[in-house]
Structure 1
């Protein structure tokens, strides 16, 4: 069923992008605030929850990957689902200290009663009447279908309609008086550009780079907040500190350890030569798993540096030669010491060289750049070199694996 498969793929993509949109929007929202005590979280009372100046701002985000997103109307599923979420949250909120924000990449049709929600100061009376009429229409349509034993219509918005009708007239008006619609919000593919535009303290030429690194840091914080590795709430002070750190690193030309806390994907398949080199010296499972992890980190780091700054290829190449020289000093001595010994001793000696790259080399070989202190780059770069047979662990690795050393 090709159609079903395509539909499922589209749905999965939309869901994934919807989550990332929450993260990006939260970052942009915190950047927009000037209040020092501002704090934000996602997936608590709402998609995004902001606290600032003693106020709670709840954001329901309606992202779309369609070229022309559907407009916000009285019949919008997104509208009534949002109403249901907010009405359910009302008992735990102080309404006078809360505003509700419906954020959509779509727009509002001209003449729509929802234009009243583009400003907190606008009158809401006509909108309340229109929403009550629509909710009652849905209720009547479902009752009529039920009497005729037909499939009940409007299943995607009935809960929101019923929740809205369950409120008193005063409660409906008060809820909408605290509600704002933000229409035509940037789609996820454009939101990083908006983040960059808000970095006014950064030189314009550096804003895209700072924005990219800020998003990478922010994504990790959001993931950590959701899995309990940090507090759920992210503070504006944290964001300001991180921006300052990134700017400082750029001004000093400092290289950032982008992959120190990132593990390789579960489906990552390293070059087979990595495992072959380790098998020659009878490395253990732990030796192999460490090698795979660090090789992936180093390879990703090298690629990122060169993509951001092509001249880094020269720096990386020169540093590889430094690594090779340190390895060569030990490997040549090992080859001499292993002359005449059996293969068991050769393998044991080679294993010690392999483990030296993990345990000692990061402390002995000078860092690739001043201030760099992440050991994964040395460890992983040795594995990259081993894959290319520029280095090896067994005394006779070049002969055993074939090719030139």
Structure 2
């Protein structure tokens, strides 16, 4: 029973996470589809996704599902009535004549559903108003009857939407539905990158997957920054177009991009124990260790990213490791000579200077891995990667003390 509950909680968390990503990347697809230069999009403002274009507001309420066969959208659907409640709540903040309300769902509409009129621009919504009013009243009456009979109240997931809809005057119900559109059968989050690629028709076919992948990664960061207050809440089409141009330029010039400069390792990240042993051997402080762990993670992730994109990067990474090792060797060999007569305290102090050199001076002393590269984390972190393999070290006798071979 406990295992079943754990799986249920994990499934719920997974669905919620994918639902949020769906919001973010649906916003990207929506902005890419715009043709007007003044279009801009944001998420989690008035609605899941808000688009402004040519003085018009388009609000999107999104209903994602990780099910292969999500239930059909009907007049009885929880998704419909939860959406109605959200829209009724924000009506006072809207100029309805300048707003279009979209319910976007990966599910399909039920066959012969009266909701089909919401998929057709300009269609008559009066019969749908009557149908929704009857359904809302049925839910309210059923709860009232259950309450009088002392039974458990049904429809807890729909009642707020139903009562909100009935609280509107009939003309307001009709006006709300006149501004409403349903888009069913929307693509799922799993196909977002492929869908982004399809919008890049002006690019050569061989560039589209790479541009789409990097664009999605950039967009993901921008959405997080917007929610954290690190940037404006909305992202403009001009900004999106500029980023596409930047990515294309990088590809055409074979430019390496620092993708982890502002990233942080996950809280549960556990580096190889050799990293900490190397730092401890020279008496490194907590700050030395935390910097080493952070930069090692960044460099390791960057290496993996480059290699997944191109196996040819293996030679470039290896050659640069040799460059880093040579710079380290020049300093380490000199240190070994100078501290040959020192006690362990003196050797530890000298070794700590070498470790701190990799963080403070090496990024400026060693040439970058590629022209135009200026992110210090790759040099700093690569030294930690090499230290884990005992190809470099900080203490004069690190090989012997850490179990390596001369």
Q: Could you tell me which residue of structure 1 aligns to residue 288 of structure 2?
A: 287
Residues 56-65 or 227-236, more deviating: 227-236
Q: Could you tell me which residue of structure 2 aligns to residue 31 of structure 1?
A: 32
After superposition, where does 1:393-404 map in structure 2 within 5 Å? 393-404=394-405
Q: Distance in 1 between matches of 2:4 and 2:397?
A: 56
Q: Could you tell me which residue of structure 1 aligns to residue 279 of structure 2?
A: 278
Residue 103 of structure 1 aligns to a residue whose secondary structure is strand
Q: Could you tell me which residue of structure 2 aligns to residue 335 of structure 1?
A: 336
2:267 matches 1:266: yes
Residue 42 of structure 2 aligns to a residue whose secondary structure is strand
Q: Could you tell me which residue of structure 1 aligns to residue 256 of structure 2?
A: 255
Q: Quote how far apart the aligned CAs of 1:124 are.
A: 0.7
Q: Could you tell me which residue of structure 2 aligns to residue 366 of structure 1?
A: 367
Q: Distance in 2 between matches of 1:191 and 1:312?
A: 27
Q: Could you tell me which residue of structure 2 aligns to residue 353 of structure 1?
A: 354
After superposition, the C-alpha distances for 1:345-387 in whole angstroms (9 at most, x for unaligned) are 1111111111110011100111101100000000000000000
Residues 114-123 or 175-184, more deviating: 114-123
Structure 2: stretches of 5+ with no match in the other structure: none
Q: Could you tell me which residue of structure 2 aligns to residue 169 of structure 1?
A: 170
After superposition, where does 1:183-202 map in structure 2 within 5 Å? 183-202=184-203
Q: Distance in 1 between matches of 2:334 and 2:342?
A: 14
Q: Could you tell me which residue of structure 2 aligns to residue 224 of structure 1?
A: 225
Q: Distance in 2 between matches of 1:229 and 1:404?
A: 49
Q: Could you tell me which residue of structure 2 aligns to residue 308 of structure 1?
A: 309
Q: Distance in 2 between matches of 1:301 and 1:218?
A: 18
Q: Distance in 2 between matches of 1:55 and 1:288?
A: 53
Asked if the contact 1:120–1:179 (Cα under 8 Å) also holds between the matched residues in 2, the reply is no
Residue 40 of structure 1 aligns to a residue whose secondary structure is strand
Q: Distance in 2 between matches of 1:341 and 1:105?
A: 70
Q: Could you tell me which residue of structure 1 aligns to residue 110 of structure 2?
A: 109
After superposition, the C-alpha distances for 1:86-120 in whole angstroms (9 at most, x for unaligned) are 01100111000000000000111221111100022
Instruction: Give the count of matched residue pairs.
Output: 405
Q: Distance in 2 between matches of 1:400 and 1:347?
A: 12
Q: Distance in 1 between matches of 2:361 and 2:172?
A: 68
Segments ≥4 residues shifted beyond 6 Å: none
Q: Could you tell me which residue of structure 1 aligns to residue 21 of structure 2?
A: 20
2:56 matches 1:64: no
After superposition, where does 1:29-108 map in structure 2 within 5 Å? 29-108=30-109
Q: Distance in 2 between matches of 1:111 and 1:15?
A: 30
Q: Could you tell me which residue of structure 2 aligns to residue 144 of structure 1?
A: 145
Q: Distance in 1 between matches of 2:342 and 2:164?
A: 83
Q: Distance in 2 between matches of 1:219 and 1:234?
A: 12
After superposition, the C-alpha distances for 1:318-337 in whole angstroms (9 at most, x for unaligned) are 10000000000110111111
Q: Quote how far apart the aligned CAs of 1:154 are.
A: 0.6
Q: Distance in 2 between matches of 1:310 and 1:404?
A: 31
Q: Distance in 1 between matches of 2:282 and 2:322?
A: 24
Q: Could you tell me which residue of structure 1 aligns to residue 241 of structure 2?
A: 240
Q: Quote how far apart the aligned CAs of 1:3 are.
A: 1.8
Q: Distance in 1 between matches of 2:6 and 2:304?
A: 34
Q: Distance in 2 between matches of 1:60 and 1:125?
A: 22
Residue 49 of structure 1 aligns to a residue whose secondary structure is strand
Asked if the contact 1:120–1:178 (Cα under 8 Å) also holds between the matched residues in 2, the reply is no
Q: Quote how far apart the aligned CAs of 1:225 are.
A: 0.6
Q: Distance in 1 between matches of 2:348 and 2:202?
A: 57
Q: Could you tell me which residue of structure 2 aligns to residue 318 of structure 1?
A: 319
Structure 1: stretches of 5+ with no match in the other structure: none
Residue 299 of structure 1 aligns to a residue whose secondary structure is helix
